[in-house]
Chain A
Amino acid sequence: MAKNYETVIGLEVHVELATKTKIFCGCSTAFGGAPNTHTCPVCTGMPGSLPVLNKQVVEYAAAVGLATNCTITQNCKFDRKNYFYPDNPQNYQISQLYLPICRNGHVDIELEDGTVKPVRIHEIHMEEDAGKLVHDDWEDVSYVDFNRSGVPLIEIVSEPDMRSAKEVIAYLEKLRLIIQYLGASDCKLQEGSMRADVNLSVREAGSTEFGTRTETKNLNSFSAIQRAIEAETARQIDLLESGQPVIQETRRWDDNKEYSYAMRSKEDAQDYRYFPDPDLVPVNISDEWLDEIKSRQPEFKTEKMKRYKEEFGIPDYDINIITDSKKMADIFEEAVAICNKPKKVSNWLMVETMRLLKEHNMDVSDITFSAKNLAALVNLTEAGTINSSVAKEVFEKVFSEDIDPEKYVNEHGLGQVNDESALRQTIEEIVAANPQSVEDYRNGKEKAIGFLVGQTMKAMKGKANPGLVNTMLKEILSK
């Protein structure tokens, strides 16, 4: 490569909002119903039906805007984007063009060298999702499923401020974290609740002019995004190096082939004939309403990390992982509030919880156990009521069924045996049954005691206090 190139990237990120009902009707947004079961006259575009805005969509969109330092358009409007396609029941999508709800924001991303870089957000707008076409190749027909039609989305449009795949991933992870903290979406790329389209151009390093950009779609994972950016950068540089122009077009990424192909060029661009939707009145977000939304904003990761360091004195490594999701942080804070043992709670989360999540191929968002039961478990261990191996067993039950540990320990007789007379009887039996080990120990083989402790624990079904067994064994053997 003769010249030095710089990649310039802007993103259009679609996020499906976590409302229970659709944006313009009362139908459920639940995933996976039988085709056309979550539908009504409004979201199937029946003649005479009219849209009514779901206020929760406005609240989520405004909350995301506030968290990304945007200006909220307190008098925003919906516009119709007109285009014919069978998954679009009215043949127009209700979206926002002229007065989007949020504008001029930014999020800060941390670069590898530790410096912080702001990525500007041009706008965030609200819109409705389309239905889904199901093609039956066998019958050579297509069916339409309108269950997704009218599911609320926000589109977050960044400025072309990113310069590498790493920056893009950092930006997306930051957005995802913010939105998950707000509870506005689960932001799962694989399931399509977060989708990113990559606008990319290259230019000679040092140039202030932008090159011609392409838009790449169908990116379903962070790794796909990374591969697509690298491939598109290389493709554009190859074109420029060979003296060919980059054509402004939309490209579709095929992650299996690690290759993108052109879907449509600028010349084929449709005229969407945007105009304000006359069926909807302007959305007036009063100062009071905005204050209400502001007052509900959660504490985000950065602030949480700072507070944890001061308040709980747990390692930075733990803090970083715990605050990576609001769910984990909430469990942590709630459990600590009950048992006041930050490090112990953190250990359960960092070690056993993470292990079980991995083992069951689950995500933090899939956690079902309550902070209350985790705190109870910590208390039982700390009080010496159960020993650590029993605690692990009980935690598995907490993790899978959210059982009440105290009740469970009582019902299953798992309490640690500290009763010396009960222990003495068992130890004496073990000593009597293992003369060889006893002799070895007395002959100076210190390790032999370990075997005897193990045998005693086994006989006590793991419930004996192992420290006590050790002490008592030594005492009995020294007689």
Chain B
Amino acid sequence: MSLLDLTATQLAKAIKKGDVTAVDAMQAVIEQIEKKEKELNCYVTFDKEAALKKAGEVQAGIEDGTISGPLAGVPVAIKDNMCTDGVLTTCSSRILGNFVPAFSAEAVIRLEEAGAVIIGKTNMDEFAMGSTTETSAYGVTRNPWNTDHVPGGSSGGSAAAVAAGECFFALGSDTGGSIRQPASYCGVVGMKPTYGTVSRYGLIAYGSSLDQIGPLCKDVTDCATIMETIASHDVKDSTSMLRTDTDFTSALVNDVTGMRIGIPRTYFGEGLDPQVKKAVLDAVNVLKSKGAIVEEFDLDLVDYAIPTYYTIAAAEASSNLERFDGVKYGYRAKEYDGLHDMYKRTRSEGFGPEVKRRIMLGSFVLSSGYYDAYYLKALRVKALIKKAFDNAFAKYDIIIGPVAPTTAPKLGSSLADPIKMYLGDIYTISLNLAGLPGMSIPCGVDSDGLPIGMQIIGDCFKEHNIIRAAYTYELARGGFKTPYDKEVQ
């Protein structure tokens, strides 16, 4: 048996007991990285010596009793849009190719305080814009299940690293599905918490009103444990919420008796791959057999989610990305003629095509004369979408649907048709618009052997319901073999 067979919480227990050390765990991860990284490219930044050194320090802290958290000694990968003090943070963009932050994101600090050890920074779609991790300036990440396929995105590096055993768990960020969709494509558990649960301080913003940090991990227990660690009320983030119910591990209960589950018909209609549909509905039936009450219903406004999302996210992004101008940090064009030419060349050379597309889209919807027709209208639709979910949650404890219409597409098949790529976000983006929590949990594989994810959606601040249902399902489902597991078998 390899250390990599353990989940994050199992590993932490083993380290606590003294069976293994944090250094052993890091060593195991490093070996796996050295074996797989050339093929997969999960990491943008990986400093072996620094990771081992840190693991040694944490191990000493565990031994002298100063570090005792439930993740103490566990190696973690951080998506490269979260600031890490003194460590390169690129957002997988050329424009931040040399950017080393002077502070760490709050979520990263929380993990480090709990004793987790950072391995490195994972690859992503540039500035989290994309669904495939193909828009990274530092090469594509490949899906460990089948390297001809994408890992999903934008947290593709984090999801692939978990699936491939290149880390024990990872942090991702989710603006429109960027944790849940790659989790689904890579067969791991991924969760976007309720907006405001995890501090955004130190997360390099894409769509500020939609961004949330969350875990990508091996199972539901890990997910609840990590959530409990990273959730915090942070006075540095005005949108951070004061919650007293972040004891997520208390929801690890194998019982869904009487739980009301809503199945939105619109999530199972046209455009959904039949194999995905079957796997998700089979999983729902497992919960039904465990005592849950399942009912179909009509969720309103699903068709409006995509245009609403791309209007709001692009608008915010166009403003959030203005600070990357070559003046203060990051990339600056080598040759330019005056200030405006410097701006123009720096940004033209520094940003990739998908980022430029969204900056243009966002600038357009905010421009004078169009603001009311696009941005303001999108905000109104956003409020209506929230209302539609409010109505649903008056009747149901959770809503279940697919994460994505298909399993992971082949590399190179998505970027040529951005509209098609955007449509792939149909089941995930409504949650960001409504601020709702959601989880992707593996529920099967398709005929090509690619994993399928089920999405469990909760009302705001009701992660407990999601975790409880997911935990119950996971126990009924039994172990889910990752590519790593298969490899060692």
A91 and B371 in contact, given A41-B102, A47-B89 (Cβ under 8 angstroms): no
Of B214-222, B234-242, B473-481, which binds chain A?
B234-242
List, in ascending order, chain A residues with CB within 8 A of B420's CB: none
List, in ascending order, chain B residues with CB within 8 A of A50's CB: 200-201, 236-238
**Chain B CB within 8 A of A279 CB:** yes
List, in ascending order, chain A residues with CB within 8 A of B322's CB: 82, 84, 90-92
Q: A13-37: contact bitstring with B at CB < 8 Å (1 yes, 0 no)?
A: 0000000000000000000000000
Q: Contact: B316 with A278, CB < 8 Å?
A: yes
Q: Within the assembled complex, what's the spacing in Å between the Cα atoms of A46 and B202?
A: 9
List, in ascending order, chain A residues with CB within 8 A of B33's CB: none
**Chain B CB within 8 A of A247 CB:** no
List, in ascending order, chain A residues with CB within 8 A of B102's CB: 41, 46
- CB-CB contacts below 8 Å: A347-406 with B: none
In angstroms, how far is the closest chain B Cβ from the Cβ of A79?
10
A47 and B204 in contact, given A52-B236, A281-B239 (Cβ under 8 angstroms): yes
A48 and B83 in contact, given A53-B238, A89-B328, A279-B239 (Cβ under 8 angstroms): yes
**Chain A CB within 8 A of B319 CB:** yes
Q: Contact: A48 with B105, CB < 8 Å?
A: yes
B103, B322, B366 — most chain A CB neighbours (10 Å): B322
Per DSSP, chain A at the interface is: loop
Q: Contact: A273 with B367, CB < 8 Å?
A: yes
Name which residue of chain A comes closest to B366, CB basis.
A273
Q: Contact: A91 with B200, CB < 8 Å?
A: no
In angstroms, how far is the closest chain A Cβ from the Cβ of B487?
36
Q: Within the assembled complex, what's the spacing in Å between the Cα atoms of A91 and B340?
A: 13
List, in ascending order, chain B residues with CB within 8 A of A80's CB: 319
**Chain B CB within 8 A of A192 CB:** no
**Chain B CB within 8 A of A416 CB:** no
- CB-CB contacts below 8 Å: B300-348 with A: 315-316, 318-319, 322-325, 327-329, 339, 343
Q: B259-282: contact bitstring with A at CB < 8 Å (1 yes, 0 no)?
A: 000000000000000000000000
Q: Within the assembled complex, what's the spacing in Å between the Cα atoms of A325 and B476?
A: 78
A275 partner, pick from B207, B237, B329, B375, beta carbons under 8 A? B375
Q: Contact: A86 with B235, CB < 8 Å?
A: no
A273 and B319 in contact, given A41-B103, A52-B238 (Cβ under 8 angstroms): yes
**Chain A CB within 8 A of B203 CB:** yes
Q: Contact: A51 with B328, CB < 8 Å?
A: no
**Chain B CB within 8 A of A44 CB:** yes
Q: Contact: A51 with B238, CB < 8 Å?
A: yes
Q: Contact: B328 with A271, CB < 8 Å?
A: no
Q: Contact: A48 with B323, CB < 8 Å?
A: no
Q: Within the assembled complex, what's the spacing in Å between the Cα atoms of A281 and B196?
A: 11
A49, A82, A280 — most chain B CB neighbours (10 Å): A49
- CB-CB contacts below 8 Å: B361-381 with A: 363, 366-368, 371, 375
List, in ascending order, chain B residues with CB within 8 A of A281's CB: 238-239
List, in ascending order, chain A residues with CB within 8 A of B328's CB: 44-46, 89, 144
In angstroms, how far is the closest chain B Cβ from the Cβ of A432?
84
Q: Within the assembled complex, what's the spacing in Å between the Cα atoms of A320 and B133?
A: 72
Q: Contact: B323 with A45, CB < 8 Å?
A: yes
Q: Contact: A275 with B315, CB < 8 Å?
A: yes
**Chain A CB within 8 A of B205 CB:** yes
In angstroms, how far is the closest chain A Cβ from the Cβ of B466?
25
Q: Contact: B239 with A84, CB < 8 Å?
A: no
Q: Within the assembled complex, what's the spacing in Å between the Cα atoms of A358 and B209?
A: 56
Q: Contact: B82 with A280, CB < 8 Å?
A: no
Inter-chain contact count A-B, CB under 8 Å?
A: 96
List, in ascending order, chain B residues with CB within 8 A of A47's CB: 83, 89, 91, 96, 99, 101, 204, 323-324, 329
Q: Contact: A144 with B367, CB < 8 Å?
A: no
**Chain A CB within 8 A of B208 CB:** yes
- CB-CB contacts below 8 Å: A256-303 with B: 271-275, 278-281
Name which residue of chain A comes closest to B104, CB basis.
A48
A84 and B325 in contact, given A48-B82, A50-B201, A50-B238 (Cβ under 8 angstroms): yes
In angstroms, how far is the closest chain B Cβ from the Cβ of A89?
7
Q: Within the assembled complex, what's the spacing in Å between the Cα atoms of A278 and B239?
A: 9
- CB-CB contacts below 8 Å: B166-212 with A: 200-205, 207-209
List, in ascending order, chain A residues with CB within 8 A of B366's CB: 82, 273-275
Q: Within the assembled complex, what's the spacing in Å between the Cα atoms of A46 and B204?
A: 9
List, in ascending order, chain B residues with CB within 8 A of A84's CB: 322, 325, 343
In angstroms, how far is the closest chain B Cβ from the Cβ of A143?
11
Q: Within the assembled complex, what's the spacing in Å between the Cα atoms of A166 and B357?
A: 53
Name which residue of chain B comes closest to A281, CB basis.
B238
Q: Contact: A48 with B202, CB < 8 Å?
A: yes
Q: Within the assembled complex, what's the spacing in Å between the Cα atoms of A373 and B8?
A: 71
In angstroms, how far is the closest chain A Cβ from the Cβ of B368?
5
A273 partner, pick from B238, B239, B339, B368, beta carbons under 8 A? B368
Q: Within the assembled complex, what's the spacing in Å between the Cα atoms of A139 and B227?
A: 53
List, in ascending order, chain A residues with CB within 8 A of B319's CB: 80, 82, 92, 273, 275
Name which residue of chain A comes closest to B340, CB basis.
A84
Q: Within the assembled complex, what's the spacing in Å between the Cα atoms of A91 and B363?
A: 13
List, in ascending order, chain A residues with CB within 8 A of B339's CB: 86
B323 partner, pick from A90, A274, A279, beta carbons under 8 A? A90
A279 partner, pick from B91, B208, B315, beta carbons under 8 A? B208
Q: Contact: A48 with B343, CB < 8 Å?
A: no
In angstroms, how far is the closest chain A Cβ from the Cβ of B320?
9
List, in ascending order, chain B residues with CB within 8 A of A49's CB: 201-202
Q: Within the assembled complex, what's the spacing in Å between the Cα atoms of A341 and B13?
A: 80
In angstroms, how far is the closest chain A Cβ from the Cβ of B44?
15
Q: Within the assembled complex, what's the spacing in Å between the Cα atoms of A92 and B83?
A: 21
Q: Contact: B203 with A48, CB < 8 Å?
A: yes
Q: Within the assembled complex, what's the spacing in Å between the Cα atoms of A274 and B371?
A: 9
Name which residue of chain A comes closest to B237, CB basis.
A50
In angstroms, how far is the closest chain A Cβ from the Cβ of B313?
10
Q: A42-70: contact bitstring with B at CB < 8 Å (1 yes, 0 no)?
A: 00111111111100000000000000000
List, in ascending order, chain B residues with CB within 8 A of A53's CB: 238
In angstroms, how far is the closest chain A Cβ from the Cβ of B183?
23
A51, A52, A89, A278 — most chain B CB neighbours (10 Å): A278
A47, A51, A53 — most chain B CB neighbours (10 Å): A47
List, in ascending order, chain B residues with CB within 8 A of A91's CB: 322-323, 325
Q: Within the assembled complex, what's the spacing in Å between the Cα atoms of A278 and B101?
A: 23
In angstroms, how far is the closest chain B Cβ from the Cβ of A81?
10
Q: Contact: A279 with B205, CB < 8 Å?
A: yes
Given contacts A53-B238, A273-B363, A275-B315, 4 further A-B contacts (CB under 8 A): A47-B204, A82-B318, A82-B366, A274-B371
Q: Which 8 pairs show the lowest CB-CB distances between chains A and B? A: A91-B322, A278-B209, A273-B366, A278-B208, A48-B202, A48-B83, A47-B204, A45-B323
Task: List 14 A–B pairs whose Cβ atoms lie within 8 Å, in order of A's numbering.
Answer: A44-B328, A47-B324, A48-B101, A48-B201, A49-B202, A50-B201, A51-B238, A52-B236, A80-B319, A84-B325, A89-B328, A273-B319, A273-B367, A275-B371
B residues sitting closer than 8 Å to A (CB atoms) are 82-83, 89, 91, 96, 99, 101-103, 105, 200-205, 207-209, 235-239, 315-316, 318-319, 322-325, 327-329, 339, 343, 363, 366-368, 371, 375
